[in-house]
Chain A
């Protein structure tokens, strides 16, 4: 038999060490087991918003207008504490130049998602660009907010990640036709013939279809379409097209022209060729500040917008934003920057309510959010239907008069009376 003599004090020391080691191992093992079973949520410090805007090319004016405003507003949000439900996470806007081209827009959207790790994208310019960007967002499961892209196609493809707070061309077209009917009633003058003039972009072509479709509704349409012209964007000359219009003699023109440059070419050609009509109803382009640079020649055009510059008179809180925009860019606060601002308000509200940077959760919150018009510089609030279209979208009609762009319709928000029919070129004495 082997007798082992133990020293009681040594034994207690060994026991203490063994017990300590066991406790440490248990603690560490328990921690790893816990974190494996219940992984901790990493703290969010930054929320990346992708802004694939045209900063060069035919639509560069839009992107270059919106960029400083977006950067300023993001800065304001961050100074106010960032997204509070995300522990004060800061917003970072990451811009990518789409060059006003759809395929570049697609590449840039993909880059913003895959390389820059943006959790939501916002755009509000060309429908052609929005089309390809939305496809990339749908593929990667990242929501995109569209501010000013009005092609109906964008919310008719069953995409779950596309959200547009602007009205689409079918709604906008119907509003222009309804407005023309109201003009007829108010003036007692009956319009029999119209012409449709668009450029050949996706926006122009879709608008042309929307005008034809609205005209088929006997309540608001029923006019004879005497001419339908679709010209290539950025032409060297439009006098031949105006000659066709002059021969056709429409009383009202429905236009969808993307760039201010083409609007100017057309309007000056109307004047030079003494082509007179009662109303020019425009889908875009005419509200850009450059159009007004041609002076009286530009007057009396109507345009449908989600934002009228004189809306400031009714929403006084918009004035400091408009002043800031003027300070940043030297230009007037128009529909595109207003739409961009609204998109940012929407994103901020969504992130606050959602409390997550998971694009799927952001998307789910966008699908149910309801923002009242008081919070955004548009004539309406924001709530999306199952296709991602804002059900509250309501276009207002502005007319360019001597005092600038004024809201003339609907009557509930009108600030002045519409001038209809517009004076002839001879009567204008210009």
Chain B
């Protein structure tokens, strides 16, 4: 049973990683903590639900619609909300994104109420066993897709000129600008990419988790822990830290108590920071 627990926790950790990647990308380049990231993820879950409900579109197919849509939303978010406050005081930036989170959440609540929505794709109740170990189809698919997107992101960041530009801006925006990189354009692309990843995470979660206006809160809570643990701005660190936190939570709930799942995850987080204040990995986005 412990192996089953670790496996399920690993799946959960991959989802945490995907949620966190977007957040850490945005922080890494623009030094902005986007409190509305979870709400944007929640919006993508609702889009996934309505596409399934109205035109019977499977969530995994709807990723191809939601990814560019959320990219566009993220780009506009950067253009019209982040840009005006880029040079503002840090607290103003935090309040702005926090306020946006409230606006999004309450707008969704007003339009679609608080009812829990369930997506039931054909594979919702599918599972297979290897011995005593159960592999739950939605979670396996979500895990696989999360890993695939993470690998794709790594390829993008290391092998493409835009990816390298993003890493350059994250390292030193002034130097990057001096080298001819359009920093503001990179900001827009990064914000779009970060939001698109939140969208993908939301779609994958929606295949097994009820959709609700408050759903972003639960995942965002751990996402903030993960991006700090994985060194802020380091997307590879976010991936590894997500898996660590997911597994820590799962094993704690199984061996100790469900009430302690987050407490122990935070203890691991605090101890790591005491020993390595910059996080598990270096701050800079590296190959």
Residues of A within 8 A of B (CB): 56-61, 64, 200, 229-232, 234-241, 243-244, 246-247, 259-261, 264-265, 268, 271-274, 288-290, 293-295, 297, 430
Contacts and interface: CB of A to CB of B under 8 A. Distances in A.
A230 B125 contact: no
Q: Would you list the 9 A-B pairs with minimal beta carbon distance, nearest first?
A: A60-B114, A240-B253, A231-B258, A290-B116, A239-B8, A261-B210, A240-B254, A61-B114, A261-B116
Contacts of A264: 116, 118, 210
Given A56-B109, A231-B261, 10 more contacts: A60-B113, A234-B218, A235-B258, A235-B261, A240-B9, A264-B118, A265-B209, A272-B127, A290-B116, A290-B118
B97 interface: no
Given A56-B106, A261-B212, A290 B4 contact: no
B120 interface: yes
B127 A244 contact: no
B210 A260 contact: yes
Given A244-B254, A272-B136, A260 B116 contact: yes
Contact of A265 (B15, B210, B250): B210
B259 A294 contact: no
A238 B253 CA distance: 9
Nearest to A235: B218
A61 B116 contact: yes
Given A60-B113, A264-B116, A237 B258 contact: no
Nearest to A288: B116
A351 to B, nearest CB: 31
B143 interface: no
B115 interface: yes
B257 A230 contact: yes
Nearest to A425: B125
B258 A241 contact: yes
A426 to B, nearest CB: 12
Contacts of A289: 115
Contacts of A430: 125
A294 B208 CA distance: 11
B213 interface: yes
Contacts of B1: 243, 246-247
A235 B9 CA distance: 13
A272 B5 contact: no
Interface in B180-234: 208-210, 212-214, 217-219, 222
8 contacts: A60-B114, A231-B258, A231-B261, A234-B218, A243-B4, A246-B1, A271-B125, A290-B210
Contact of B219 (A60, A236, A259, A260): A236
Q: Which of A243, A289, A294 has the most CB of B within 10 A?
A: A243
Given A260-B116, A268-B208, A271-B125, A232 B250 contact: no
Contacts of A294: 118, 120
Given A236-B222, A240-B5, A247-B1, A295 B120 contact: yes
B4 A273 contact: yes
Q: Is the interface of B mostly helix, strand, loop or mixed?
A: helix
A229 B258 contact: yes
B262 interface: yes
B262 A232 contact: yes
Contact of B259 (A61, A230, A259, A288): A230
A273 to B, nearest CB: 6
Interface string B246-268: 00011111100111011000000
Given A232-B262, A237-B250, A244-B254, A57 B8 contact: no
A260 B212 CA distance: 11
Q: Which of B12, B125, B136, B210 has the most CB of A within 10 A?
A: B210
Contact of A232 (B118, B213, B259): B259
A239 B258 contact: no
B149 to A, nearest CB: 19
B113 A61 contact: yes
Interface in B53-104: none
B19 to A, nearest CB: 10
A98 to B, nearest CB: 13
A245 to B, nearest CB: 11
Nearest to A231: B258
A427 to B, nearest CB: 15
B258 A290 contact: no
A275 to B, nearest CB: 10
B214 A234 contact: yes
Contacts of A58: 214
Contacts of B258: 229-232, 235, 238, 240-241
B134 interface: yes
B90 to A, nearest CB: 27
A57 B210 contact: no
A325 B16 CA distance: 40
B106 A61 contact: no
A57 B102 CA distance: 11
Contacts of A243: 1, 4-5, 8, 254
Contacts of B113: 60-61, 64
Contacts of B250: 237, 239-240
